[in-house]
A and B are shown apart, each in its own frame.
Chain A
Amino acid sequence: MTQTLSRYANYQAAFQSLDAATQGSSPSWLRQLRHNAWERFQQLGFPTARRGNEKWKYTSVAPIASALFDYSPSPVNAPAVSLSQLGQLVPSAPDWNTLVFVEGCFAPALSTQPVQGGPVLAGSLAQAASGQARLVQEHLSRLAKVEDDGFTALNTAFLQEGAVVHVPDGAVAPAVVHLVHVAAGSPRPRVIFPRTLIVAGANSQLTLVESYVSLSQSRYFTNAVTEIVVGEGAKVDHYRLLLESPEAFHVGATCVCQGQDSSFTSGGFFRGAALARNDFQVLMDGTGAFCTLNGLFLTTDNQHIDHLLNIDHAKPHGASRLFYKGILGGKSKAVFGGTVLVHKDAQKTDARQTDKNLLLSPEAEVDSKPSLLIYADDVKCGHGATAGHIDENTLFYMRSRGLDLETASRMLIHAFAREVIDTVQPHALQVFLDVIFSQSLPSASLKFGGAP
């Protein structure tokens, strides 16, 4: 017990300082929510990879649990960030609606003004809580449950700043909404708790990009939670860019709930972070919903990335497509856990999971666990997983056409990545991703043509 207390002592102090600082400003329900979450976090703690903990079987969060991170509840301490610095780090287009958060705090100066007739945007939850109180109160912490996940509980305990995006019924967001979370870097490692709530009303449309970037190469811990409510017949395109510092820890959870006949598409792009976890929970809570989760990750050196993607077919006639690709170099390790759960009544479900991995170095490791849990009979579900190196015959063909080994293998790795990048709709984003991924592609460190 004493060990538990001392282990979370710095979070305890931070929680108390936040609680004191927001005594007057936060509504009582929000404070109650935080208190409950903090209570829950103390019970749950950080997950351990002990036997039987399937969700964390291949990933140890010991480096996160044992480190001490600074936390500051007010935006005053946030270091200055200039627009030009930001411009190089994130994709942008003139008409995008951008909200910038520096070290978890909303930075209005760096953000664009909301467009007339566009979605309702709010930079800080506190601000939204006063204007859109009912909406926020109704949805916040509804999908991302604090009960079963220590990291979500921790994030919720420190819930204060965060983005709220609301598209009213029948509205079409005229421009891409871009949420940028910047880690400015400080001498002492800090913890950031980004929080996002997206509510797309019935028959609305929204394209949204979440970017997590860093100005420095330093160590910090991002613990993000995003909740997305997709109303009946709504269409939401969601992109999540993880371009953290190579030393960073990132644990992100995205929880989605889909209404009838809605469509949700997500593209996840991951590069950077020493230890990253990408949790995705999609609940298809209406008939005829469609969901696509695409992903591309690139790891080198000692990076470790863990994806846990759950698609929950609760209602009939749903379709889901999961397509993740990984490129691994160095001594990096990637974990893929995908689950498709088809409930008893979810007949006519059509689900497909694919996980493809390219291993470019002898020390890289991939652990894949794509599982299907099916309780309905009239369904079509499948999954496929592959792992391997660049095909030697293809390389040979290209070399016989006069390309050198280096160029040929780069082309093939690039093509492997392009399959996911090509699914990105906003042109500016697609171009940006292609550039940063082709810049950082690891080269194949294996010999071909001889005995290994």
Chain B
Amino acid sequence: MATPKVISRTATTSESLDQGYKWGFTIDIDSDTAPKGLNEDIVRFISAKKGEPEWMLEWRLKAFRHWVRQKCQEPQWANIHHPPIDFQDIIYYSAPASKKDGPKSMEDVDPEVRAAFDKLGIPLNEQAKLAGVAVDAVLDSVSVATTYQDMLKKAGIIFCSMSEAIREHPDLVQKYLGSVVPYADNFYASLNSAVFSDGSFAYIPPGVRCPIELMTYFRINQVNSGQFERTLIVADEGSYVSYLEGCTAPIRKESQLHAAVVELVALDNAEIKYSTLQNWYPGDKQGNGGVYNFVTKRGKAAGVNSKISWTQVETGSAITWKYPSVILQGDNSIGEFYSVALVNNYQQADTGTKMIHIGKNTRSTIVAKGISAGHGNNTYRGLVKIMPTADGARNFSQCDSLLIGDQCGAHTSPYIEVRNPTAQMEHEASTSKVSDDQLFYCQARGLSVEDAHSMIINGFCRGIFQELPFEFAMEASQLLKVSLEGTVG
């Protein structure tokens, strides 16, 4: 079967290269917005707004009460610095005001929203359908439209917004929601569980190989609003799915909060491939504004021979706090983590992964590349835990950091806990700058300093980009180039 193509969201014209952040337009749509602040009423408001069943509200309230018990004490252990977040100064629900039951067909989608997504290059309309990617677009926490329903339905695949899933497939949601990231997991996960407004839900039935790549597109539009979306993907026995996630936000002077939760469940012989291209607004050159990205992503390789693979390219956000993890529960299950994290100007990233080996002969691979430029600080923080039951477990970790300029920092803090002697665990990390010899060689061949840097950096990240779907990889290397603009030469 021919692999369907993904439409690239950026025009790879030269104009994209000489602008700073070209995704920073705002869309003017009336939104149906909750008042600022957070209390039980807001949680009830969100739940009522979505017409959720009683059990969902109960779950949200449990999460909210747990969050309150933590007394607004966000975790302090990460190597990131930001002014305290006023959680009462955030709008927790902001939906584009639309017809009561949301758009029924593509024609019902607000033309302005559609135009906005066109600007972003999202294949939301018919023409995009030809390109062959199913998109669930989430604008300010609310799912706007999901394309390609018919084709997916034929294959038995459920791909819809979380609100729809709660309405249409409550049994599946009830069974899996919170099964990987419980509401009490961490501060931001509790917050998300209480107030999440939408997100994507995907269920791949047994033995089905998802014919197209599923994609969610996130955008924060409203001023002062936080985005709290929730994604749940369940791959039933013997199924396969590749899932893409992209994000942008308009330029705002104030920082915006994004606290998402992503849960993946892979049953026996199932495989989930999850790719992220994170391009939230990183703040200006002085470090003002930008998105605070505090995300909990975790997958459970629950079944035997199951596989979960995370690939991420992180170029945006003022602060990234994100540890896509895999719980390797099933025997022979596989976990993978491939990451490129780039920080420039005053961006901060504390990111990495957790691999928890529980089943026998479980294997995990971690390849993390960090690039620091300007005044950016980049931390790899990872955990490899091999439990006593994980006989024959195998881990390979490699973390490389590249430093550009003498004001930035690159840090590596792996945690390794081995409790089974038959396990083999290897960790390697290196930190260096772009070698003068390599630069000299490239320049001697006629490349400008900037092009030479760009080429070397692309080479540095090549291993990760190869893991991305083709057009996503093209876009990723463009993003890197734009993000690094002006740091050298």
Spell out A's residues near B (CB within 8 Å). 52, 54, 344, 347, 357, 359-389, 446, 452
A-B contact pairs, 7 of them (CB 8 A): A374-B410, A375-B408, A378-B406, A379-B432, A385-B427, A388-B425, A446-B421
Contact B416–A372 (Cβ < 8 Å): no
Q: Encode B459-470 as 1/0 by CB contact (under 8 A) with A.
A: 000000000000
Contact A361–B421 (Cβ < 8 Å): yes
Contact A384–B424 (Cβ < 8 Å): no
Which of chain B's residues have a CB closer than 8 A to the CB of A380? 430-432
Contact A387–B418 (Cβ < 8 Å): yes
**Further 11 A-B residue pairs, CB within 8 A, beyond A389-B424, A452-B392:** A344-B407, A367-B416, A368-B415, A374-B410, A377-B406, A378-B433, A379-B431, A385-B426, A387-B418, A387-B425, A388-B418
Kindly state the separation between the CA atoms of A381 and B402 in the bound complex, as whole angstroms: 11
Known A-B contacts A377-B406, A452-B391; the reply to A371 vs B414 at CB < 8 A is yes
401-458 of chain B: CB within 8 A of chain A: 401, 403-433
Distance in Å: Cβ of A166 to nearest Cβ of chain B: 38
Contact A385–B408 (Cβ < 8 Å): no
Contact B414–A385 (Cβ < 8 Å): yes
Known A-B contacts A366-B418, A367-B417, A374-B411; the reply to A387 vs B406 at CB < 8 A is no
Contact B422–A389 (Cβ < 8 Å): yes
Kindly state the separation between the CA atoms of A422 and B136 in the bound complex, as whole angstroms: 62
Which of chain B's residues have a CB closer than 8 A to the CB of A378? 403, 406, 433
Contact pick for B413, options A52, A364, A369, A389, CB 8 Å: A369
Which of chain A's residues have a CB closer than 8 A to the CB of B406? 344, 347, 376-378
Q: Is B388 an interface residue (CB 8 A)?
A: yes
Contact pick for B417, options A54, A365, A373, CB 8 Å: A365
Kindly state the separation between the CA atoms of A427 and B417 in the bound complex, as whole angstroms: 36
Which of chain A's residues have a CB closer than 8 A to the CB of B286? none
Spell out B's residues near A (CB within 8 Å). 76-77, 388, 391-392, 401, 403-433
Distance in Å: Cβ of A386 to nearest Cβ of chain B: 5
* Majority DSSP secondary structure for residues of A touching B: strand
Please name the residue on chain A nearest to B373 by beta carbon.
A377
Kindly state the separation between the CA atoms of A371 and B391 in the bound complex, as whole angstroms: 27
Kindly state the separation between the CA atoms of A363 and B408 in the bound complex, as whole angstroms: 42
Contact A377–B433 (Cβ < 8 Å): yes
Please name the residue on chain B nearest to A380 by beta carbon.
B432
Which of chain A's residues have a CB closer than 8 A to the CB of B432? 379-381
Contact B418–A357 (Cβ < 8 Å): yes
Kindly state the separation between the CA atoms of A371 and B380 in the bound complex, as whole angstroms: 9
Kindly state the separation between the CA atoms of A378 and B76 in the bound complex, as whole angstroms: 30
Distance in Å: Cβ of A238 to nearest Cβ of chain B: 27
Contact pick for A52, options B77, B424, B425, CB 8 Å: B77
Which of chain A's residues have a CB closer than 8 A to the CB of B409? 373-375
Known A-B contacts A367-B415, A389-B422, A446-B422; the reply to A377 vs B408 at CB < 8 A is yes
Leading 4 A-B pairs by shortest Cβ distance:
A359-B421, A377-B403, A371-B413, A387-B418
Kindly state the separation between the CA atoms of A360 and B417 in the bound complex, as whole angstroms: 15
Please name the residue on chain A nearest to B391 by beta carbon.
A452
Which of chain B's residues have a CB closer than 8 A to the CB of A370? 414, 427, 429
Kindly state the separation between the CA atoms of A268 and B429 in the bound complex, as whole angstroms: 24
Kindly state the separation between the CA atoms of A180 and B448 in the bound complex, as whole angstroms: 63
Which of chain A's residues have a CB closer than 8 A to the CB of B408? 375, 377
Please name the residue on chain A nearest to B417 by beta carbon.
A367
Contact B414–A369 (Cβ < 8 Å): yes
Which of chain B's residues have a CB closer than 8 A to the CB of A379? 403, 431-433
Contact pick for B422, options A363, A366, A376, A452, CB 8 Å: A452
Contact A382–B428 (Cβ < 8 Å): yes
Contact pick for A54, options B77, B407, B410, B430, CB 8 Å: B77
Contact A389–B421 (Cβ < 8 Å): yes
Kindly state the separation between the CA atoms of A360 and B418 in the bound complex, as whole angstroms: 12
Kindly state the separation between the CA atoms of A360 and B77 in the bound complex, as whole angstroms: 33
Contact pick for A360, options B412, B414, B421, CB 8 Å: B421
Contact B430–A382 (Cβ < 8 Å): yes
Which of chain B's residues have a CB closer than 8 A to the CB of A369? 413-416
Which of chain A's residues have a CB closer than 8 A to the CB of B425? 385-388
Please name the residue on chain B nearest to A53 by beta carbon.
B77
Contact pick for A388, options B76, B407, B411, B421, CB 8 Å: B421
Please name the residue on chain B nearest to A333 by beta carbon.
B419
Which of chain B's residues have a CB closer than 8 A to the CB of A52? 76-77
Kindly state the separation between the CA atoms of A381 and B380 in the bound complex, as whole angstroms: 14
Which of chain A's residues have a CB closer than 8 A to the CB of B391? 452
Contact B429–A383 (Cβ < 8 Å): yes
Contact pick for B427, options A365, A377, A384, CB 8 Å: A384
Kindly state the separation between the CA atoms of A372 and B388 in the bound complex, as whole angstroms: 28
Which of chain A's residues have a CB closer than 8 A to the CB of B77? 52, 54
Contact B420–A362 (Cβ < 8 Å): yes
Distance in Å: Cβ of A362 to nearest Cβ of chain B: 6
